[in-house]
Amino acid sequence: MTTVGHVMILASAGSGKTYALTNRFVRLLALGAKPERIVALTFTRKAAGEFFDEILNKLARAASEPGYAAQLAGEIGVPAFGAADFLKLLRAVADAMHRLRLGTFDGFFARVARNFPLELGLAGEFEILQEHAARMERGRVLQRLFGRAGELAGAQREFIEAFKRATFGADEKRLGAQLDRFIDEHQEIFLAAPGRDHWGNPARIWREGWEGLKAAAQLAPAAQALRAALADVALSAGQRARWDAFFADLAGWSPGAPMGAALNYLFGNALKAWPGLAEIMVERKKHALPAVAGDALRRLLQAIIGAEFGRRLEMTRGIYAVLNGYEAVYHDAVRRAGKLTFGDVQRLLAPGEDGARTLSREAAEGNRLFIDFRLDAEIDHWLLDEFQDTSFGQWSVLKNLIDEAVQDAAGARSFFYVGDVKQSVFAWRGGDPRLFREIFNHYNDARPGIIAEEHLLKSWRSGPPVVAMVNAVFRAAPAIGELFPGEASAAWNREWRDHESARPQLGGHAALLHAADEDARFATALKLLHEIEPLERGLTCALLVQKNNTAAELAEYLRREGGVPAVAESDLHVCVDNPLGTALLALVKAAAHPGDTLAHGHLRMTPLGDLLVAEGLAEPERLTRRLLGQIHAEGFERTMDFWLRRLEPRLAADDAFSRARGRQFIAAAGLFDATASRGIAEFIQFMESYTVRDAEAAAVVRVMTIHKAKGLGFDVVILPDLEGTKLDARRKGLAVQRAPDRSVEWVLDLPDRLFAEQDTVLAAHLRAAEADACYENLSLLYVAMTRAKRAMYVITKPPGKSASRNFPKLLAEALGGESATVRVGKQEFAGAFSEGDADWHTRIAPPTPEVRGAPEIGRLDPATVGKSQRLPSRQPSDEKTGLLGGAQLFALTGGGSAAADFGDALHRLFAEVEWASDPAMEKIAALWSGCGVAGEEALACLRAPELAGVWTRPEGATEAEVWRERAFEVVLDGAWVTGVFDRVVVERDGKGIARRATVFDFKTDRIGDEREVAATVLRYAGQLNLYRKVAAVLLELKREAVTCELVLAKMHRRVVVPVTGSR
Amino acid sequence: MAFLAGPWKGGGPLDLSALMVVVPTKQSGRRLREAIAGYAATQGQAAFPPRVLTPDRLIASDATGSEASPLESLLAWAEVFRGLELEEFRSVFPIDPPERNFAWAVRLAQGFARLQGSLAEAGLRLSDVPAKAGADFPEAERWRQIAELERRHTRELASRNLREAQAAKIERAAAPVLPEGIQGIVMLGTPDPLPLALRALAVHAQSVPVEVAVFAPEADAAAFDAWGRPLAETWTTRPFALREFEQRVQLCADPAAQAERVIAVARGYGGSDPGVLGAGVADSEVLPLLEAGLRHAGLAGFNPEGRACHGDGFYQLLAALAGLARDDSFAAVETLARCPDFLEFLPARGNAEVSAAGSLAALDEMRARHLPPDLAAARRHAPGSAALAAVAELRATLVAGVFPENAAAALRLVFGARKFDLARPADALAAESAKAWTEVMRETKEAAAVFGNISNAEWWDVALRLYGELQHSDDKPAGAIELQGWLELLWEDAPHLVVTGLNDGSVPEAVVGDPFLPESLRERLGLKTNAARFTRDAYLLQALAACREQGGRLDLLLGKTSVAGDPLRPSRLLLRCADAELPRRIKFLFSAVESARPNPPWRRAWQLQVPEATLPSRVAVTALRAWLDCPFRFYLSRVLRMEPVDPGKTELDALDFGTLCHAALEAMGNERALRDCTDAAVLREFLLNTLDATAARRFGRELTLPLIVQLESARQRLSRAAEVQAQTRADGWVIEWVEKKFVLDVGGLVVSGKIDRIDRHERTGAIRVLDYKTSDKPAQPWETHLRPARRDETAPEFARFLHRERETVWGDLQLPVYLRAIAAEFPGETECGYFNLPKASTETGIARWDEYTRELAESAWRCAEGVAAAIRAREFWPPNEKVRPEYDDFAALFHHGVAESVAGKERVR
Ligand code: SF4
């Protein structure tokens, strides 16, 4: 087959990434690739699903529309292809559907791991922990860490020491909260660098050695020297005062503690005078520093810095130890129990230094995971989507497989990756945009041109005005370069290419509007919505913000102030965001924690209060017993459903919302039950943290974060929340220095900028980190500005003189800062930039609403169809009643079920007897005496004169027949009865017509006195009369002709059971 | 049916007892017997049924003792792995596992047991694989080693006089025993019988006639092999014919949507016509939703599969006991205590008066106050507690002796006094569970006899798993709709059948990700492959449609995504059509579906009805602050006395922490000798000793981790406080009073309080009122007492005043009230302030309220009287809307605004 070649595509926003990807897929098929030999990976399940649908629909269309077939054939570079050929491909794909490998990275990795458990050190199958479950596990681990004393005393001591170092005396009262935060913030880093020696290790940070601690020791002497030296320096009163304050602060200062104002002030000024320190600015006047003073000050500064660094190193090691303590328990309790997160799976698959566990298609090599056989997969072709979000970890798992593909001599395999470095907004969770180029260079350096580079710059999403505004902002290389000097802007400008709109006919409008503060920005947004009326015009509309809670506030504001149907697409806490849910939870709390007067009080204020009274559960005691019992027996879902059903009549008839929430609540409870936990506290916690994403309902204004909007497009986009601080502010948290191969070199709790700046190594790290932050923020703005199809309105505060290098600043630099009047339809706004048609929306006719009824399943007319017969079923043994003692239930020997065994044995033996008289009996008897207690008993019964009648042919009967252990099926009074006779003796006349019958039922339970006999008879009356009826039917006899006898084996008693009416 | 009954025309019972009928599943067997009863009934007769069984029963064990039970087999595997030198098995275990403990071994064992099982289906042992698979297959060495493992497994069993079950089964298949009296065998509607069972049948065929019957039109006879298995050639290529395809097949958003449609149609039938509608559930995710949905709609659904025992209450009790057996942590105690059976056990233990609610409340109280690490510690705090005594007794029983005896003993304790009345469904169910568990215990007991060195905890784990996997089958409610698995549907004769979950992977069923038996190997070994499943399901689907051609109806539902949101694909069976039709099918089956359920706008289900309550006779100083914070929350907390319980409490809260430090400081103040002490060291030692003593009294000697850390913190704060105290004394301030109680009439409201400490200056004689503060940040009196008015200030007039030209509001009145309270006793100048013991030890010290002027004092008093008056006038409105939920105990009561959430404001006004 012709070689398909390797391709890297840099696809700008809206330029049809998915389109390119699906075309690639089709092209591969057209060139003869087997569908199951292609792997296409992306990030979200949703994307994967859509991707698959699009391929099939594309093929289906090409198979049925020659015109389109020709077009597609052209696009994929196989012009010869026609509808018929595409139909073949379609059939091929359809048949291979189950073997296709289109999905998420996570999914693919999990699948691989499942096939190599032992190779990865797992003990077998594992389950993937989703968000909720992972939270729960963490909770348990913390409980375990906190709950126990003594037992892990050793570890405990260590842990506490660590904790003290981590928080350095500046203790924290709420350990739980603190640790939780620790884990959130640092766990990923820990797992990336589990080695102790990476953490706060000066040797790793400062290769040329570090004098900090020595310097720190100088603190006191240096301070003294300086004080002395300053004594005879001419200072103004003010300056003198400053210095005194400085020394006062210094005395109180300990490393890590915030510096006092005076300390901070002079420290800063001194650094400005660094390293000369011949004079220093104090109180807006320089004063000279004699050499002694200068020198003392120098040593003092170094001491302070040294002390600060020393403490940070210490803390970092502390943090490590704390995490290490937690991880040890977590690892043991969770991962080893076969509960892994996707992250764990990926780490397991990471090849590791020794290159062990490398995925490969070459069977030969020992320590490798040969996937062809285990996965039934011979993967030739790789398609990777959204590559800018791929983490180095993910890449390193796939690297070798893709190497093999790229280096395939025959050129029969291929690698294709597509993405947009300008949209790398997921760096904070590992996305590694640099890979994009690195990989390209890596291969192309070795074999120039091996991977082709393509750019997609036509936007199929946005109209000209939007594109124009985007270009205007991001083309502004000088502005960007000047605002963010260095690598950040350089990298950005390097990759930038002007966009163009592929849909000029779309028209539209793009503008930058000004508003003073948040309220004004929200108001402006609302004003725009009222003017444009997107929903009335059948346009999709979104407002993009930076934070989830802003989204919630804004949506709330639009609903409240403007009556706009706005939905915040943050995750909704459906179980607690409404009175119904919290009341139901209060019910559980109140029951499980009778002392919870809050929960009890809460209940009383809700309809549940009356309900409980009505159910006679007002008393805590009753409530506790009843509810715990219910939960215990039926689980939370059924229990909650039970109460919800009782509550429903008390909801307003038209209250669809609360009913919907009720359903969601029950569903959530069901999910919890599935975890097989009945822990009340865990349940509460689960329900409180349980969230669902609001279903994307049509005809609403959607409010969401820019991150969530990635990959989506809307007719109208409003950006009212671009304020914020410096774009190049480094993410807070531990500083992690990585080598070019992304391995962690060192981790440090970075000191404040003021300090870090003073150190070349840390300063360098700082700059790099800031460059990354800046790049990520530019990407964020780019994503935000490329979501709009027709119209985009950016609302920021006028830059004014605020120097902070934030979005508004950038926009002002690029689009102009002068406030002018910007018109949108009939409304006027203050703004700085406007492109396109201010009346665009007025030209859009409202759509004709099409009516679609929810699909329903038709019904058959019960009258006309033959029903399948379904009878309630009964078994004579059901008729049994009686009391079982708790103790005897759990007897391991004798009694309880042991008795049952004995009974069965006895029944088996009795079944061997036809007539005691017949010769065979001798042999049987002999055998019996061999088989233990049951045998003895059986023999005794057989010999017992009282029971002779059971075993002997009734005299007078010409013919008698015995049924032994005979099963029957019968329909009696509309019920289907199934059962087994122990022994029935049937007497027939000459013509073989049954005349009478006796049903014997053997009972082997211990029965003492007459009273118990009577009781027993009573107990089994129902059962035996049922036998009587059955026998009557089978033999076509009157019931009176059938005798029923209980045979009490132990007592050697026969008791006739009187005929009773049907039970 | 007629086929079975043959010539029988009534007149005497329908006697099929000489016949053996093989059916695919238990459920279908049940169906058959029901049909037989019905058929006989048509002649007013009854029947002696044939011997009905499933293929696997054909070769099932005859329960002779020598054969290893599944448990024994499992433990034998575990033994093998525990004693393994992995070096010799590098092709199976390329790397060493992190830890080789029992749990690890058992999880491996399950894998290998399963592997043995699936090979045995085709009559193969692990050791047969290399030969069977052929020399050229990639993992030959791995399998040679696996074979060796199997040999060791067999040896482990043999050394205990046990026979390996799978092997025995295979032998039985070669020489099956025919139950006496059987004169003929029929295999009925069983499209994929166990290959091994077929071996047995083949043998039987030599002695009695064996017939095979399939559900299909006569014409299709050629489409099946001799054993009635659909032939791949025919069924994989034959188009699936269903009239009105696009009406009958419905694409739904997700499992919930599928469930809803089924429920809708069931509602349509009104449940009045059982037997018209049958429901099939091919995707297990739909089942729970369907069950819940039907239940909620008041319709009965019935799942013949039954429920796994780990869902039932008894399992929870066992788990709780297992927990207690593992360790006696207080958490384990709490868990057990919330098991109803335990609560019933309490009175049974002869303390008839103990109440469930009382005991549980007591436990919560215990945790809140003492944070006990374990049972022992808890008992030291409450020696009298009946509940704890009961737990202790159980714990003792559980750790005495060996499993399962000790477990059984514990259960006999718990249930000893209970009687189970089998007539009561609940009791009957309980008894059933108990029996099942006792069976498990017996099994483990037998196993324990031959397998040593397994700890109690490990036994518990094993036994619990065994029990958890058992199935309860509850009886079918009258008129219930049966929710049947895909493989049962062939036997479902309801005229209208709705099948959910027609997604690839469910139908046709596909098994993926087997680390030992990938599809390619399965083929080589002749095991059941996904291809074979495809054939089977193609036939089943066609059969379901075919038998409803006349007068019946088959609806097929499929989902777009799973519950978790993973995309699902339509069943390939639905794509079995003429190529010409394919594009249309694709477009239809791969179209987008927007979730049907619209989300209605937020709406309030109800407003809270706030009850009336009588005012407390006296309030604490803090109450004033509470009222100023939020009058309504004041009403809830101080008048209605609503207080939460924190069941997850594992450490001191701010209050506890403060109390601890206070206790030490108070003691110091009371120590006359120390009042003049200026030696920080002495003070420190005293403070720390007192702290330790107090802590020991309250928490015992064994402390939990957070406690240790927190005490550490308290220690640091107190050490620093000692220095500060020494300094203040040196400056001339002498402690005069500590914890001075007072009662003050504020505008008719009795306010009581305790003043942490009053100092007098030895020279100036000035008086100073101090309050200890242990908040993390040092508190400044003026900051805590005063705040600038908000833009939309709701505070009442009397709380506001102009302070340095700025509209200011009283947030707290503590110190002013203190001063007022002692004014009589100490006339003349009095200062006030805080003694801060904050997080950062450098910030420890006294924060004096220097500018506490006479004007402030008057304004404060005016405010206090205002508050008092308001309280007495039952003014508890308006609420403070600004409290952040995470700091609001009452957050759960309020949604979209506090005021909005409450009805009947007049009552709290
Ligand atoms: S993470 Fe846990 S489960 Fe995974 S390999 Fe390590 S020990 Fe085994």
Ligand 1 center from residue A124 Cα (angstroms):
11
Interacting residues of A961 by C-beta distance below 8 A, sequence separation 6+: A985, A986, A988
Pick the residue with more confidence: B716 or B556? Answer: B556
Provide φ and ψ at B8, rounded to 5°: -50, 130
Measured between beta carbons, which residues in chain B are less than 8 angstroms from residue A114? 513, 515
- How many CB atoms are located within 10 Å of the residue B428 CB? 18
Per-residue pLDDT tens digits for A819-873: 889 999 999 999 999 999 999 999 988 776 555 555 678 888 877 776 666 677 7
Rounded average pLDDT over A411-428 = 90
Whole-number pLDDT of residue B885: 82
Per-residue pLDDT tens digits for B510-520: 888 889 999 99
CB contact under 8 A, B40 and A585: no
Among A445, A464, A579, CA closest to A510: A464
CA dist A746 and A736 (Å) reads 6
CB contact under 8 A, A886 and B329: no
CA dist B120 and B131 (Å) reads 16
Whole-number pLDDT of residue A1: 44
CA dist B360 and B366 (Å) reads 10
Atom of ligand 1 nearest to the CA of A347: 1
Whole-number pLDDT of residue A895: 47
- What interface predicted TM-score (ipTM) does this complex get? 0.91
CA dist A532 and A539 (Å) reads 10
Whole-number pLDDT of residue B554: 95
Distances in Å between the Cα of B17 and the Cα atoms of A981, B36, B475 are 14, 12, 26
Whole-number pLDDT of residue B525: 93
Kindly tell me if the per-residue pLDDT of A611 is higher than 60: yes
Residue A991 — very low, low, confident or very high, per pLDDT cuts 50/70/90?
confident
Ligand 1 center from residue A135 Cα (angstroms):
19
Rounded average pLDDT over B629-638 = 95
Please give the residue of chain B at the shortest CA–CA distance from A967: B48
Q: Which two tokens stand for residue A387?
A: 């590559």
Kindly tell me if the per-residue pLDDT of A152 is higher than 50: no
In eight-state DSSP terms, residue B890 is T
Q: Whole-number mean pLDDT of chain A? A: 86
B750: left (phi over 0), alpha (psi -120 to 50) or beta: beta
Whole-number pLDDT of residue A907: 82
Whole-number pLDDT of residue A697: 58
- Type of residue found at B589: L
Whole-number pLDDT of residue B905: 67
- Type of residue found at B643: E
CA dist B16 and B224 (Å) reads 27
Closest CA of chain B from A557, distance in Å: 12
Rounded average pLDDT over A493-515 = 92
CA B633 to chain CA centroid, nearest Å: 34
Measured between beta carbons, which residues in chain B are less than 8 angstroms from residue A1019? none
Q: Taking the alpha carbons of A669, A675, A677, A680 in that order, is the dihedral positive or negative? A: negative
Beta strands in A594-700 (DSSP E): 692-693
Pick the residue with more confidence: B273 or A621? Answer: A621
Among A70, A71, A88, CA closest to A30: A88
Q: At what angle do helices A175-192 and A291-333 cross, to 10 degrees?
A: 90
SS3 annotation, A935-997: HHHHHHHHHCHHHHHHHCCCCCCCEEEEEEEEEEEEEECCEEEEEEEEEEEEEECCCCCEEEE
Pick the residue with more confidence: B469 or A180? Answer: B469
Please give the residue of chain B at the shortest CA–CA distance from A992: B12
Rounded average pLDDT over B702-727 = 88
Rounded average pLDDT over B173-183 = 88
CB contact under 8 A, A593 and B426: no
Among B788, B280, B489, B638, CA closest to A601: B638
- How many CB atoms are located within 10 Å of the residue A319 CB? 25
Whole-number pLDDT of residue B218: 85
Kindly tell me if the per-residue pLDDT of A150 is higher than 60: no
Q: Taking the alpha carbons of A964, A965, A967, A968 in that order, is the dihedral positive or negative? A: positive
CA dist A92 and A96 (Å) reads 6
CA A578 to chain CA centroid, nearest Å: 23
Our answer on whether the CB atom of B98 is closer than 6 Å to any ligand 1 atom is yes
Residues 634-653 of B with CB under 8 A from A: 636, 640-645, 647-648, 650-652
Kindly tell me if the per-residue pLDDT of B156 is higher than 90: yes
Rounded average pLDDT over B360-365 = 96
CA dist A617 and A596 (Å) reads 16
Chosen for mutation from A622, A691, A868, A888 (greatest number of chain B CBs closer than 10 Å) is A868
Our answer on whether the CB atom of A121 is closer than 6 Å to any ligand 1 atom is yes
Residue A1063 — very low, low, confident or very high, per pLDDT cuts 50/70/90?
very low
CB contact under 8 A, B603 and A597: no
CB contact under 8 A, B374 and A628: no
Kindly tell me if the per-residue pLDDT of A14 is higher than 60: yes
Whole-number pLDDT of residue A210: 84
Kindly tell me if the per-residue pLDDT of A151 is higher than 50: no
Buried residues in A982-1015 as b, exposed as e (16+ CB within 10 A) = bbbbbbbeeeeebebbbbbbbbbeebeeeeebee
Ligand 1 center from residue A107 Cα (angstroms):
19
Region of poorest pLDDT, from A15-19, A1033-1037, B270-274: B270-274
Region of poorest pLDDT, from A59-63, A676-680, B904-908: B904-908
Rounded average pLDDT over A33-45 = 93
CA dist B562 and B557 (Å) reads 13
Q: Whole-number mean pLDDT of chain B? A: 90
B461 touches chain A (CB under 8 A): no
Kindly tell me if the per-residue pLDDT of A155 is higher than 60: no
Whole-number pLDDT of residue A1062: 46
CB contact under 8 A, B605 and A596: no
Which percentage of chain A shows pLDDT scores above 70? 92
Kindly tell me if the per-residue pLDDT of A899 is higher than 70: no
Say if residues A951 and A958 touch (Cβ distance below 8 Å): no
Residue A157 — very low, low, confident or very high, per pLDDT cuts 50/70/90?
low
In which residue are the tokens 């477990």 written?
B407
Taking the C-alpha atoms of A101, A102, A106 and A109 in order, what is their torsion angle to the nearest 10 degrees? 20
Whole-number pLDDT of residue A165: 65
Atom of ligand 1 nearest to the CA of A121: 5
Pick the residue with more confidence: A106 or A376? Answer: A106
Closest CA of chain B from A817, distance in Å: 31
CA B563 to chain CA centroid, nearest Å: 18
Residues 159-178 of B with CB under 8 A from A: none
Pick the residue with more confidence: A271 or B362? Answer: B362
Which of B357, B551, B561 lies closest to A594 in CB terms? B357
Per-residue pLDDT tens digits for A267-277: 888 888 877 88
Whole-number pLDDT of residue A176: 76
Measured between beta carbons, which residues in chain B are less than 8 angstroms from residue A971? 37-38, 40-41, 46
